[in-house]
Amino acid sequence: MVGTNVLQLPKGMDMTIRFAALCAGVLMAAQASAVPVTYNIDPTHTYPSFSADHLGGLSVWRGKFRKSSGKIVLDRVAKTGTVSVTIDTASIDFGLEKMDEHARSPDIFDVEKFPTANYEGTLAGFKDGAPTEVQGNLTLHGVTKPVKLTIHTFLCKPNPMSKKETCGADASATFSRADFGVSYGQAYGFNQTVTLDIQVEGIRAE
């Protein structure tokens, strides 16, 4: 038709352009899906617990903290994330009230002066889309030190009861409580090494 200017592409170039456009679209979609998701820690299914030596190997004390809060931020595509947990130190529970009272006293946790312990970390070591460790810092008794958590299990799926997306993990760490100024019993031969175990579940924020 007279007056119509039609651009004729060399043979094969049209297909190349279409393929490039498709790749660009896939890349943009992948980038768009790489959005960090926040999960609020469920305090009814999260119990930081610990075990510690008594009198240099005579026995092992075990206890837990009944109150904790925080959040997990996870980006599965970018393989990154963060963890933030706050523990109410006054909620310590050995299953024996006199021991709990002593643990709350200035001899040990001094909960009046230090009512919370905090852990802030970064998810790392992703394998098959799940983190295997947390590189972070623990603040306890007013002292902040690096503590690495090893993640033994990590899973995200819809909770069959609440129907809400939930992520759960089981993690542990070992550190010296003396490094944080909680050195009660050291003069009696108490080993200062503590094993921390955390089972945690987080519910996807609306």
Q: How far apart are CA 81 and CA 134, in angstroms?
A: 9
What φ, ψ does residue 95 adopt, rounded to 5°? 85, 5
Three-class SS of 82-94: EEEEEEEHHHEEC
The encoded tokens of residue 36 equal 């960090």
H/E run at residue 134 = strand 133-140
Contacts of 22 (CB under 8 A, 6+ apart): none
H/E run at residue 27 = helix 13-33
Please list the pLDDT of the chain residue by residue as tens digits (206 residues): 445 454 454 555 555 445 444 444 434 434 444 589 999 999 999 999 999 999 999 999 999 999 999 999 999 999 999 999 999 999 999 999 999 999 999 999 999 999 999 999 999 999 999 999 999 999 999 999 999 999 999 999 999 999 999 999 999 999 999 999 999 999 999 999 999 999 999 999 98
Number of helices (H) and strands (E), helices first, in the chain? 2, 11
Q: How far apart are CA 108 and CA 61, in angstroms?
A: 14
The encoded tokens of residue 179 equal 């490094």
pTM of model > 0.85:
no
What residue ranges define each of the domains in the chain, with the CATH number in brackets? 35-204 (2.40.128.110)
